């Protein structure tokens, strides 16, 4: 699951230059780590971490919802 910061600080004014690019980069890195560990992509579930270091505008942007 993507999260900015740590559980104690993640909701303190979350800021991204490009939230989609950062979450995407995180997933690419984690997928590679899983594949190196022998886990097939088809077995993975990607969680963008809504509510974990993201505000409403970040969530709307990630989902493509108008906002």
The tens digit of pLDDT for each residue in 35-59 reads 999 999 999 998 877 766 777 777 7
Hey, CA dihedral for 58, 59, 62, 67, is it positive or negative? negative
Every domain of the chain and the residues it spans: 1-67
| Tokens matching residue 28 | 């690419």
Residue 1, Cβ neighbours under 10 Å: how many?
Answer: 11
pLDDT at 55: 72
Q: Is the pLDDT assigned to residue 32 strictly greater than 80?
A: yes
| Tokens matching residue 10 | 């993640």
């Amino acid at each position: 699951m993507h999260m900015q910061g740590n559980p104690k600080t993640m909701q303190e004014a979350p800021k991204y230059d490009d939230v989609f690019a950062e979450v995407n980069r995180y997933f690419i890195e984690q997928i590679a780590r899983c594949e190196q560990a022998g886990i097939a992509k088809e077995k993975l579930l990607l969680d963008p971490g809504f509510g974990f270091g993201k505000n409403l505008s970040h969530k709307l942007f990630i989902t493509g919802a108008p906002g």
